[in-house]
Amino acid sequence: QVFQPMLRVAPKVDCGLTSLESFGSYAEGFEDFLSLTIVRMEPLRGHGLVVMKPDLIGAIVDAYYGGKGEPPTIRANEFTAAEDRVLQSLLGRLFAQLDAAWADIFHLQFSRISSESHPQFLSFLESADMVVVTRFLVHLPRGGTSAVDVVYPLNALKPLMPLLRLRVITEQSETDPGWKDRLKSALLDVELPVRSILAEPTLSLSAIMALKVGDVVPIHVPEELHMLVEKTTFGIGAPGEANGNAALKIRSIARPRASTNR
């Protein structure tokens, strides 16, 4: 559905590896000239990236205009007007498929913000930023394969992790299509801070200013405490002790909800 209207044949598309790595590590494999599309993922904060090699775009343009689907033998360092038009049409179809693929987890809407052709002009991702890279391998009509990478900044996806966890629990008996299964697996390996606030006593400013070493601040420990994952309440439990350590016994789990307010 993405490539067939342009290539005039239905190419085989394989789900490649889904990896979690730093953007710097991922970008080490960049060539000097690529199609780099910065993507809006509403309502999430942060931008994604779609990466394609110029040979793929050249082969699609050749097939679209009646050729055999072969990339140009001489490659310029900028995309032609025809390549730009075909690329925009291709991205529109890809975004529609991504919208549909995410729909059963969370309603995301993908759209193009801007495009670059040289990696050094990318500025919205730092080298240390962690990214989830989902790769699709397109088998070209004249032989060979070319990769299409969809890159998600990990921080942008963190609000969806409770939903992904719930989806895995409720679908344990189902087999999920390849790339979504690997994407979930990569995200679910990410460690998140879990905490519980034992007490939050309040004092007047004058009392705080008068505090000295040895003073005692009384606190009231409630019968139930909230267990927080980052800033979201994930469960409610009772404070206690286990194996000589302070502990929290979970009494209920809150239904995960996605929040994009980060």
Is the domain of 179 the same as that of 215?
Answer: no
In this prediction, residues 188-192 reach a mean pLDDT of 71
Tally the domains of the chain: 2
Q: Which of 170, 188, 206 corresponds to the end of one domain?
A: 188
d(CA 126, CA 158): 17
Asked if residue 261 is part of any domain, the answer here is no
In this prediction, residues 200-219 reach a mean pLDDT of 90
In this prediction, residues 111-121 reach a mean pLDDT of 90
d(CA 125, CA 131): 9
d(CA 204, CA 125): 44
Asked if residue 55 is part of any domain, the answer here is yes
141 versus 236: the higher-pLDDT residue is 236
pLDDT of 261 > 50? The answer is no
Residues in the chain: 262
Which structural domain range is residue 131 located in?
4-188
What pLDDT score does 159 carry?
86
For residue 225, what is the domain's CATH number? 2.30.330.10
Q: Which of 188, 210, 233 corresponds to the end of one domain?
A: 188
pLDDT, one tens digit per residue, over 232-249 is 888 898 988 888 888 888
For residue 24, what is the domain's CATH number? 3.40.1550.10
CA angle 85, 153, 59 (to 5 degrees): 30
Q: Which of 162, 188, 214 corresponds to the end of one domain?
A: 188
Mean confidence (pLDDT) of the chain: 83
What is the pTM assigned to this prediction? 0.64
Is the domain of 179 the same as that of 213?
Answer: no
Is the domain of 135 the same as that of 243?
Answer: no
DSSP assignment, residue 259?
A: -
Is the domain of 132 the same as that of 201?
Answer: no
What pLDDT score does 177 carry?
57
pLDDT of 257 > 70? The answer is no
In DSSP terms, 135 is beta-bridged to 149
Is the domain of 117 the same as that of 214?
Answer: no
**Highest-confidence segment of 27-31, 48-52, 61-65, 160-164:** 48-52
Is the domain of 235 the same as that of 157?
Answer: no
